[in-house]
Amino acid sequence: MGSIKLPHASGNSMSIAAPATNPASDLELKLPATIGSANQLLKNSGTAGTLEFASNLTLAATGAISLSGTDDPVTITVQNTDSNTATDSGGDIVFKGSKTNGDPLYFGGIGGRRRNQASDQTGYLALYRQNGDGSNAAVEALRIDHSGNMALGTTTVTGGASSGRFCIEFPGNTANAFKSRNTHSGDGNAAVFITGSTEVGSIVQGTSGTSYNESSDYRLKENQVEISDGITRLKTLKPYRFNWKVDPTKTVDGFFAHELTAVPEAIKGTKDEVATEDNENLNIKKDDPIYQQIDKSKLVPLLTAALKEAITKIEILETKVAALEAA
């Protein structure tokens, strides 16, 4: 037999107890119709030993919960009250439905978890999805870590080399990492790149092609002179046929970055550079190699200048040949 005891501030109490014997039918405890409103819940009041209806929290017969309040923002707190919350433990909000047989069916959830019990006081926010097999197994789909970094398809932004504010890991043989669909009938920016307050590049998605653009407006430039040594500089380039060590079966054309001295702005990094210290944010350890990179598009002005010089030489030779033939 169960009972509810409501204590008085002075020490005595009032109890509501179930009948000693099983009643012929269910009994009801009803309050006057003038007290409370439909769907309101009872809560502890500000006075010890008393209950009152919660005017800002209702539970409808359909299962819908409504919460209102004057605080900004109105909050719902889910707290793990263990004395020392374990790694990857915390609180979740879970979304479920029902199978045809009435068993619960997991749809997804949102969780706030502790990052590392042993070494820090930080946490992360995770979005969970169903495993995809119709089971109630939850799989982490998206994580926002304590620094605001976002990881999709992985639980860390430091997988592999370096790191990023937004990282995607995906099986390249079965999925696209990113899809952009332009529903406009003309061109549209798939991405824009801003430094400070100035747009410095864009990826424009058209009806039949994609353009990769960088700033080139004359109003951003000064001290321009024509390239007069295009052939001389071009002759210093050393194109090779080679294969990458990670793929010895595939031979390609290219350059060695440190040899591209004719166009230094095309080079990123320094020859034989290594990290001088650990950098956790970039997932770099001391003495890790920092590999050079090149932007081949920056070779185009030099190639164009060299070609123009060559054309000029050819035209001069053609004029001389024509004069000799006419003599």
User: What secondary structure does DSSP assign to 179-214, as a single string?
Assistant: -----SSS-EEEEEEEETTEEEEEEEE-SS-EEEEE
Answering whether pTM is above 0.75, one says no
Contact predicate 49/9, CB 8 Å? yes
Quick check: is 8 in a domain? yes
What distance lies between CA 103 and its chain's CA centroid? 34
Quick check: is 157 in a domain? yes
Determine the average pLDDT of the residues in 167-186: 90
When mean pLDDT is compared over 34-38, 117-121, 159-163, 312-316, the highest value belongs to 312-316
Q: Is the pLDDT of residue 250 over 80?
A: yes
Quick check: is 247 in a domain? yes
Quick check: is 43 in a domain? yes
CA–CA distance, 2 with 19 (Å, rounded to integer): 9
Residues 254 and 314 in one domain: yes
pLDDT tens readout for residues 302-320: 999 999 999 999 999 999 9
Residues 216 and 234 in one domain: no
Residues 309 and 239 in one domain: yes
Which position has the higher pLDDT, 281 or 32?
281
Quick check: is 180 in a domain? no
Please give the tally of structural domains in the chain.
4
Structural domain harbouring 48: 3-23+35-67
Quick check: is 85 in a domain? no
Residues 146 and 111 in one domain: yes
Mean pLDDT computed over every residue of the chain: 87
Residues 260 and 286 in one domain: yes
Q: Report residue 245 as tokens.
A: 């060590």
Residues 236 and 317 in one domain: yes
Quick check: is 132 in a domain? yes
Quick check: is 179 in a domain? no
| Domain's final residue, options 177, 199, 220 | 220
The CATH code of the domain that includes 306 is 1.10.10
Q: Is the pLDDT of residue 32 over 60?
A: no
pLDDT tens readout for residues 104-157: 888 999 999 998 888 778 899 999 998 877 777 889 999 999 989 999 988 888
CA–CA distance, 127 with 144 (Å, rounded to integer): 9
Which position has the higher pLDDT, 122 or 257?
257
pLDDT tens readout for residues 39-71: 777 777 777 656 777 778 888 888 788 888 887
Determine the average pLDDT of the residues in 188-199: 93
